[in-house]
Each structure stands twice: as C-alpha cells, then as structure tokens.
A and B are shown apart, each in its own frame.
Chain A
Amino acid sequence: GENVEQHPSTLSVQEGDSAVIKCTYSDSASNYFPWYKQELGKRPQLIIDIRSNVGEKKDQRIAVTLNKTAKHFSLHITETQPEDSAVYFCAATGGSQGNLIFGKGTKLSVKP
C-alpha cells in the first residue's frame, strides 16, 4: 500500500523567510496530493492540492511542486507570517478508493 514520508518534522523560521516541506510517496498509482494545515485540536484544512497531470501550482504565498518520476512533492510558503505557525500534513491517495495516506506532519513555527 501507499506510504508517505515527510520531512522535516519540525521547522522554525523567521517571519518573512520561506519554508519548504518535502514529501515522498511509494505508490506510483497515486494521482492526488493535498496539503493540510492543522492547528491544535482543530480539523485539517486544505491549503493547496495538486494532481498528477500538473507539475506545479501556486496560490498567493503557497506553492506546491510535484515530480512524478521521483515520486516526491514539496510545499513552499513564502513571506511567512506568525499565523502560518501550525502542523502541516502532506497526503496522497492510497488504495483505489480515494482515502488519504498522510505524512507524519511538520510543525512549523514562525518567529516574529
């Protein structure tokens, strides 16, 4: 089955710096790769997603890149702000029925 690895587990940056989180996946049949932001005790919230027919997608300060050959995808956050501090999860569709397999998460801290 699908396995998703995520690095780093913690990331601390200064406000205004960029943050990069990387994930690899194992199942070449996976076609959908969402990124979620989760604050403590709250629901995961989708911040950006990418499908396998696209190599890069951008939404304001957030971008995601996908390399299907290498089976890795990355989240890029530019001009980080303190409110970006949260746990970020990457995910990939596992199995044939659309359920998500999550990475272990990255705790991002943005220092003012």
Chain B
Amino acid sequence: AAGVIQSPRHLIKEKRETATLKCYPIPRHDTVYWYQQGPGQDPQFLISFYEKMQSDKGSIPDRFSAQQFSDYHSELNMSSLELGDSALYFCASSLGLIDNEQFFGPGTRLTVL
C-alpha cells in the first residue's frame, strides 16, 4: 500500500540558510499535518492543512511557512535557519480532519550547522 512520502530524507544547512521540505500524502488523503521532533523529545505539532486550506497552527515559528497544493502535496519552507531547528520533521496524512488515524511519513532529518 502507498505510504506518505517525504523528501529529502536528510538535509544539511548552514545557519541563516533556507530549506524546503516536501510531503506527498497517501492518495485520496485530504489532510496533512507537520510535526517537529527534537532529539529525545515528543513530536510537536507545527501546522495542518485540509483540502488545501490551512486548518490549524501550532508552535510554528514565524520564519516557517507552509502550504498545500492542488495535488494535495505540502511543502514546509524554513528561512533564517537556526541551530535549534535541527530536528526530525514528520509529515502525516489522514482522510478527513477529525479523529482519524494519522499516517506518518519517514521524516526529514534536518541538521543546521
């Protein structure tokens, strides 16, 4: 069965650079969530989209932005990168918005030097 695809899987950037993370949800899934997981920490909700519209916002810095495109894939844009942005970034998709199973992608490991 098709799963959530994330690219790239690994990314190394310098401070103050920009990064773009991509997420391709499971076919027919209309909802995408982005989570950030620091080392030894729990995943923290960043932002979500339903039917190409932003549906909720969590602890996402103003330096980050995201959108969901017409084909339902989503991109997380990160600017002015800081050392503290180094983390695993997971995208999850679900069918529908409320109380439905979220399927996680393999994650993108971002390292900021």
0/1 interface trace, chain A 67-111, chain B, CB 8 Å (1 if under): 000000000000000000000010001111111111111000000
Interface size counted on chain B using CB atoms at 8 A: 28
User: Do A96 and B101 have beta carbons less than 8 Å apart?
Assistant: no
Q: Provided the pairs A97-B50, A105-B42 are in contact, do residues A44 and B98 lie with their beta carbons within 8 angstroms? A: no
Residues of A34-48 at the interface with B, using a CB-CB cut-off of 8 Å, are 34, 41-46
User: Do B90 and A44 have beta carbons less than 8 Å apart?
Assistant: yes
Give the size range of A's interface with the partner: 20 to 34
User: Do B55 and A97 have beta carbons less than 8 Å apart?
Assistant: yes
In the assembled complex, how far is the CB of residue A20 from the closest CB belonging to chain B, in whole angstroms? 19
From DSSP, what is the main secondary structure of chain A's interface residues?
loop
Using CB atoms, name the residue of chain A closest to B100: A98
C-alpha gap A73/B35 in the complex (Å): 23
User: Do A49 and B101 have beta carbons less than 8 Å apart?
Assistant: yes
User: Do B104 and A45 have beta carbons less than 8 Å apart?
Assistant: yes
B58 within 8 A of A: yes
Chain A residues contacting B25 (CB-CB under 8 Å) are: none
In the assembled complex, how far is the CB of residue A39 from the closest CB belonging to chain B, in whole angstroms? 12
A57 within 8 A of B: no
B99 within 8 A of A: yes
